[in-house]
Amino acid sequence: MRAVWRVLRLGASARWRVAAAVALGAAAAATAVALAGTSAWLIVRAAEHPPVLHLMVAIVAVRAFGIGRGVLRYVERLLTHDAAFRVLGALRVRVVGQAERLLPGCRRLFGEGDLLARFVGEVDGLADLWVRVLVPGLAATTVGVGAVAGLTGLLPVGGLVLAVTLVLAGVVVPLAGARLARAAGRDAQPARARYQEHLLALVDGARELEVYGALDRRLDALAADDDALAGMERRSAWTAGLASAVAVLAAGGGALVALWASAGALERGSLDGAGLAVVVLVPLAVHEVVALWVPVAAQLPALAASSRRLVEVLDAADPTPVPAAPMVVPDGALAVTARHLTLGWPGAAPLLEDLSFHVPAGGRAAITGPSGTGKSTLAATLLGFVPAVEGALLLVADDGSAVAPTMADSASLHRAVGWCEQDPHVFDSTVAANLRLARPDASDEALRAALQTVRLGDWLAGLPDGLATMVGEHGRALSGGERQRLALARVLLSGARVVVIDEPTEHVDDATATVLLDDLLRALAGRTVIVITHRRDLIEHRVEQVVDVGAMSAPPSQLA
Amino acid sequence: MTPIDPRLLRAGRGTAGLLAAGTVLALASALLVVAQAWLLATGISRVIERGGPAGLAPLLGALVVVVAARSALGWAHESVARRAATSVKSTLRVRLARRAAADAVAGVGGRRADLAALASTGLDAIDPYYTRYLPQLVLAAVVPPVVILQLFRTDVPAALTVVLTLPLIPLFMVLVGKATEAANAKRWDALQRLGHHFLDVVEGMPTLRAFGRGRVQAELVGASTERYRTTTMATLRIAFLSSLVLELLATLSVALVAVGVGLRLVDGGLGLQAGLLAILLAPEASAPLRQVGAQYHASAAGVAVADSMFAVLDGPPAPSGDAAAAVPAGPLTLRVQRLSVAHDGRPRPAPDGLTFHAEPGRVTCLSGPSGVGKSTAVAVLLGHVRPTAGTASVVTGGGTEEVGRLDRTEWAGCIAWVAQDPFVAAGTVADNVRLSRPDATDDEVGDALARAGLALPGDRPVLARGTDLSAGERRRLAMARALLRRAPVLLLDEPTAGLDAASEAHVLEAVRAEAARGATVVMVAHRPEALAIADAVVEVR
């Protein structure tokens, strides 16, 4: 419940819209109750054959209530939904902002299939907290309390009976139902995430699974996941039906008791016939309003679970908190110095220990070592994604001032340090948009020139829409090598003074790699370049120093 | 949309069963609604006429029975609806998974984000269709006639008022619903695009942050949500209009009945019991219809989801043909002749007229710049991609057969494959290796890992897509998987990319050993070390 409150508070900006929606919702529900009450009063009074004029007020009121309800409901629903969407926008921005801080350093916090459910499904689903829980709940409560007060004025026992049945149908039963459903809801969410993850794995690996004859086995396993999920949903089916059944019992039973009690009051003379009809029939209308609560309560456990997961992401500790006094990375050329540096991902064992080197401004160095020794962690540390475990990694300006990436002002850091990933992410957008990430104001000419430099000029010429060509999800329309080069073009455009290149010769044949490395290093002349690679043979004659971080370096003699 | 989507009706036994059971339950509850109103009206009027509770006890007793029965029927109806929804969703999920897998094998699948959205949140949108809309639809069809019949017996003018306003409700429902339907489809489409945008931004967040663009993207996500709000609110203004008209018609007819009955009571043309019964029954006639209206847009969202789903399920099936030819017996030679494969959006086929032979016991390397179609050639040999021109065939002493005509299962059983970007499932290293031969012993798995040069323990857990492994480790894992199979044909797509020289030498040695055992090896390779072990090098250009 605490998580639900946290999420509700995130929507504080829409509180006046929510308040207005509650007021309108309560008025609409009150109109329905009043229609039932005045009709009952009118019928019993009319049966006493009074002059018609005595009934005029009631007749006009009945007609007005008949019209008012629909109009009030309409405005209320629009307001509620509008408020919910505004809150949702704020929520999404918060969540993406959190991903910005956490994801580069803490990939494990965000699962693969789970991630989608969390960001799209669950955040969107939380709109129901406002639309289905908060507004109708508060509106129904207001009308319920008002009706109990009104009936108590007519016949105290009538008010008491209504209060008891309302609490039973509107509070006790939903709470009990929620308790029953909670276990099911808790079980179902992981099963659902598992199903989704397995489905995505099945699609990702479909071709290999098919070749290895494992596709049918995997589909059967997925069907078993599905059975588990369906079984959980079936088990909660009877509980949901039970809640509304008790609500019907409470409403009918209440009318029954009210009739019995008011008959006695009529005999004693403390209630007239019209009052009796009101006391018996109004509670039925109030129960119809409160019945909105029953489906809401069934949803609460799932919403609470989503809220908890959201809060978990919102509360996760930042591995690289924004420094209290961020230091601006100085303009001009930068050197990179490592002193007794130990590196590792947060929450995992250190990968590289006691590493020391110095790359002077404008110099170029290679970090080499066998696969899997954690060379890429060096890139992440230099980019400020993860803090150094021990020792220091510093950007050093000409005047000798030094800044650790995690202590730097982020905007100036991103201008200073550029990165070409080992597995570059290509966004599902145009070629131009993918390049302009690095420099939003770059001209088309600049983009073409960058592509030319990474030898994608011919590729660009062959594209149907040139720079405006869409590249698919995960850069699906690109081959591995093209993807790598596009990422290199991005780095060239960024204008960074220190550039880290992670495995640039991946997916490219040696002849092309040789040309590419020469082109790249020429294009990056004057900048400080650190190339991370396991191919010492390709890089060692092109850089001024090689830092070997692995015990088993690749002896150049292996070159054919 | 039609009131009942026929495709959902066919999707599972659940729907038809629900409608049948629902009709019986609805008829019973209609009778109970009338009974409850009659008992209450009679009770109230008798108390007023007799001035006290005299003779009330039998009525109250009957009321207890009626209320209990209504409660039980409501419970049964909802439980049945839930079960129907669950079984239909389950059926659809299974069909969706099968179809998605088949599409992915044929390389025609849509975006994986769409698929995930459909299989989870998307499918849940069908829930309200079953648990609220369909039961309500049955009630709306059964309850009003029963109630109106009783109203005619009670007070003809009141019955006529209801009969005249009631048909307007479905009429307006259809009129306004037509406007909502298209808007709902658009809304779902926007939601999917938004979800895709989200995933893309989050997956690429390290890149975005490195370029200092993370914050900007967060704002863009906010802006696209704001646009979504504006368009959705425009839809809702119309969608809710239907409910407005419906509620207006329903409550107004109740008010008109109350006023009319009141005036006839004053004239003395009607008794108190009949008057009370009329005002109790009037709202019961329109309530189910009004509820259908209220459930209408929730169900429309579900039907829009069903449309996306059936678009996937009913799409043109992947070309399978009548491939049932047996793989000829004997050592397998792969013969590729003038092979071309055209790609959408590329001016030139890749490969473009490729010809080569790969013989048993030999390592044949495909080499050439990126993008010339080396991986596509492998996909054709696998049987996943059809050639646009030319042929890929299997030649043995026993005959010649085109790959596309071979029995799928039998041909796949002959192949071990290392993909360029190998698949890694969540589980353990050993699970992933064993994929190619589930009955392999621990020793055999360990041996395959050792031959692939992957020094990871078999019980080491790995995350989905192998995100906690390096690219080189993923490739060696796939290599171990391929080695474990001892297949007559090995198709290796850059198995040594991302490996250091020592690991590469180790893997290449294992490849040679496979050829020495008699396997036909086709290897896509760039580097001199890899090309050095080839018996033949084919330059693809």
Cβ <8 Å between A44 and B272: yes
CB contact under 8 Å between B425 and A70, yes or no, is: no
Cβ contact, residue pair B83, A203, below 8 Å: no
Considering the domain architecture, whether residues B289 and B402 belong to the same structural domain is answered as no
Segment holding B462, helix H or strand E: strand B461-462
pLDDT of A532 strictly over 80: yes
Across the interface, of B105, B422, B528, the residue whose CB is closest to A510 is B528
pLDDT of residue A164: 95
Q: What is the percent of chain B with per-residue pLDDT over 70, rounded to a whole number?
A: 90
pLDDT tens track for A350-370: 878 888 899 999 999 999 887
Helix locations, B340-418, DSSP H: 374-382, 408-412
- Among A52-61, B228-237, B289-298, B394-403, whose mean pLDDT is lowest? B289-298
CATH code for residues A334-558: 3.40.50.300
Q: Any CB–CB contact under 8 A between B184 and chain A?
A: no
Spatial distance between the Cα atoms of A416 and A331, rounded to a whole number of angstroms: 8
Residue A319 distance to chain B (closest CA, Å): 14
Element (H, E) at B417: strand B415-418
**Greatest extent of chain A over all pairs of C-alpha atoms, in Å:** 117
Query: CA dist A498 to A389, A394, A440, A526, B468, Å?
Result: 22, 12, 19, 10, 27
Interface of B with A in 284-343 (CB under 8 A): none
Q: Is the peptide bond before A350 cis (omega within 30 degrees of 0)?
A: no
- In chain B, what residues touch A203 (CB-CB under 8 Å)? 100-101, 104, 109, 112, 115
CA torsion sign for B339, B340, B341, B346 is positive
Q: Is A12 exposed, middle or buried (0-12, 13-18, 19+ CB in 10 A)?
A: exposed
**pLDDT band of A556, cuts 50, 70, 90:** very low
A contacts of B52 (beta carbons < 8 Å): 263-264, 266-267
Q: With a cut of 70, say whether residue A555 has pLDDT above it.
A: no
Residue B518 has a pLDDT of 92
Question: What would the mean pLDDT of B176-183 be, rounded to a whole number?
Answer: 68
Please tell me the predicted confidence (pLDDT) of residue B449: 94
**Is B297 a domain residue?**
yes
Return the pLDDT at B469.
Answer: 82
Minimal CA separation from B406 to chain A, in Å: 13
Residue of B500, B507, B539 to mutate when probing chain A, most A C-beta within 10 A? B500
Q: Please give the pLDDT value at position A396.
A: 92
Planar angle of CA B114, B120, B122, nearest 5 degrees: 65
Average pLDDT value for residue range B173-178? 71
Q: Which backbone phi and psi does B363 adopt, to 5 degrees?
A: -100, 120
Interface test with B, best of A126, A212, A470 (most B CBs within 10 A): A212
Residue of A nearest to B256 (CA): A63
Q: For B117-121, what is the mean pLDDT? A: 69
Is residue B507's pLDDT more than 50? yes
Q: Residue B299: inside a domain, yes or no? A: yes
* Domains in chain B, number: 2
Q: B135 with B268, same domain?
A: yes
CB < 8 Å from A in window 151-180 of B: none
Same domain, B227 and B261: yes
- Is B439 part of the contact surface with chain A (CB cutoff 8 Å)? no
Domain at A2-315, CATH homologous superfamily: ABC transporter type 1, transmembrane domain (1.20.1560.10)
Where a domain ends, among B252, B279, B313? B313
Q: What is the CATH number of the domain that holds B463?
A: 3.40.50.300
The CATH number of the domain holding residue B287 is 1.20.1560.10
- Asked whether the beta carbons of B350 and B390 are under 8 A apart, the reply is no
pLDDT of residue A93: 82
Domain spans, chain A: 2-315, 334-558
pLDDT value, residue B184: 67
The verdict on a CB contact (< 8 Å) between B467 and A112 is: yes
Q: Using an 8 Å Cβ cutoff, are B393 and B400 in contact?
A: yes
Nearest by CB to residue B251, choosing from A35, A59, A280, is A35
The kind and range of the H/E element at B313 are helix B272-313
Statement to judge: residues B302 and B436 lie in one domain: no
Calculate ∠ Cα A213-A219-A224, nearest 5°: 135
A248 to chain B: which residues are within 8 Å by CB? Answer: 67, 70-71, 74
To probe the interface with B, which of A208, A257, A288, A435 has the most B CB atoms within 10 Å? A208
Provide the shortest C-alpha distance from residue A200 to chain B (in Å).
Answer: 7
- Distance separating alpha carbons of residues A522 and A227, to the nearest angstrom: 59
Chain A closest-CA separation from residue B205 CA (Å): 6
Minimal Cβ distance to A100: which of B205, B237, B500: B205
- B47 and B187 inside one domain: yes
Test B97 with A202 for CB contact under 8 angstroms: yes
CA distance B19 to A203: 35
Q: What is the mean pLDDT of residues A210-234?
A: 86
Range of the domain at B300: 6-313
Burial of B516 (0-12, 13-18, 19+ CB in 10 A): exposed
Of the listed ranges A474-478, B79-83, B187-191, the one predicted with least confidence:
A474-478
Residue B319 lies in a domain: no
The 3-state secondary structure of B473-492, one letter per residue: HHHHHHHHHHHHHCCCEEEE
Let me know whether B344 and B252 are in one domain.
Answer: no
Q: Are residues B65 and B189 in the same domain?
A: yes
d(CA B150, CA A379): 80
B207 CB within 8 Å of a chain A CB? yes
Same domain (yes/no): B512, B404: yes
Nearest-CB residue to B52 (from A74, A263, A385): A263
The pairing of strands B333-340 and B389-396 is antiparallel
H or E segment to which residue A71 belongs = helix A56-102
Same-domain check for residues B295 and B438:
no
B357 within domain boundaries = yes
Quote the pLDDT of residue B1: 44
**Beta A364-368 vs A528-533: how paired, if at all?**
parallel
B4 vs A: CB within 8 A: no
B348 belongs to a structural domain: yes
Question: Is A226 close to B93, i.e. CB distance below 8 A?
Answer: yes
User: In the block, which residue shows the tokens 């993860």?
Assistant: A386
The pLDDT tens digits for A372-424 are 677 778 888 898 888 888 888 999 998 888 899 888 888 888 888 988 887 78
Pairs of CB atoms within 8 A across A/B? 510
| Whether residue B234 sits in one domain with residue B132 | yes
Q: Is B498 on the interface with A (CB under 8 A)?
A: yes
Of A107, A512, A553, the closest CA to residue A371 belongs to A553
Residue B478 lies in a domain: yes
Nearest beta carbon to residue A42 from set B225, B258, B345: B258
B323 lies in a domain?
no
- Higher-confidence residue of A481 and B413: namely B413
Same domain, B413 and B460: yes
Chain B nearest-CA residue for A191? B120
Distance CA A105, CA B510 (A): 36
Domain boundary among B313, B345, B380: B313
A103·B205 Cβ contact <8 A = yes
Note whether B205 contacts A111, CB cutoff 8 Å.
no
Query: For residue A402, is it left (φ>0), alpha (ψ between -120 and 50) or beta?
Result: beta
Q: Which of residues 229-288 of B touch A (CB under 8 A)?
A: 229, 232-233, 236-237, 240-241, 243-248, 251-252, 254-256, 258-259, 261-263, 265-266, 268, 271-272, 275-276, 279-280
3-class SS string, A281-347 = HHHHHHHHHHCCHHHHHHHHHHHHHHHHHHHHHHHCCCCCCCCCCCECCCCCCEEEEEEEEEECCCC
Considering only A16-30, B21-35, B89-103, B471-485, which range has the smallest mean pLDDT? Answer: B89-103
From the list A88, A248, A371, the residue facing B472 with the nearest CB is: A371
Which of B203, B247, B424 comes nearest A70 by C-beta?
B247
- Distance set, CA A62 to CA A43, A280, B94, B251 (Å): 11, 18, 54, 10
CB B496 within 8 A of CB B525: yes
Q: Is the pLDDT of residue A320 over 90?
A: no
Residues B420 and B524 in one domain: yes
Q: Which amino acid is at B328?
A: P
Identify the pLDDT of residue A552.
35
- Interface probe with B: pick from A10, A33, A43, A415, most Cβ of B within 10 Å: A43
Q: What is the mean pLDDT of chain B?
A: 85
